[in-house]
Amino acid sequence: MRLSFVRLLREAAWAPVAVLVLNAIIVRSPYARELYWPLHVFGGAALAFFFFQAIGIAGSSLGRLRPLGRYVMAFTLACTFALLWEIGEFVWDDIAGTSLQEGLADTMIDLICDLAGAGVALGLIAVSGRR
């Protein structure tokens, strides 16, 4: 079990951690406003990659999925996590009085970019896996 966790960190967790680090750097830059949507695309892609890898690693313990099931589950988990992130921003804005979300359009663009990133990442994984 410990070996699987270390493998998960090594093979999958680096992607979302890299996006969080990139976000921490960009949020302090004067270009933060213009770069928020690419960060969501990268975030969606990183989440999809993470969950796709995690499902593969956990397959030996939890049972293997068919390839299509693995893609669908990774996409669904990435979308769910993106939605939970936006809900967290909403709650934080309400509790702390911040303005992470500037309105419905902002939230919807964030979610669309997350979903697009997840879809593109899984598409690239599928194409690269066929070669």
pLDDT at 41: 96
In angstroms, how far is the first alpha carbon of the chain from the final one? 31
Find the mean pLDDT for residues 15-29. Answer: 90
User: What are the boundaries of each domain within the chain?
Assistant: 2-130
Q: Which two tokens stand for residue 119?
A: 């879809």
Q: Which two tokens stand for residue 19?
A: 């996006």
- Residue 82 · residue 107 · CB < 8 Å: no
Structure confidence by residue, pLDDT tens digits, 53-75: 999 988 777 777 888 999 999 99
Other beta carbons less than 10 A from residue 88's beta carbon = 11
- Residue 123 · residue 78 · CB < 8 Å: no
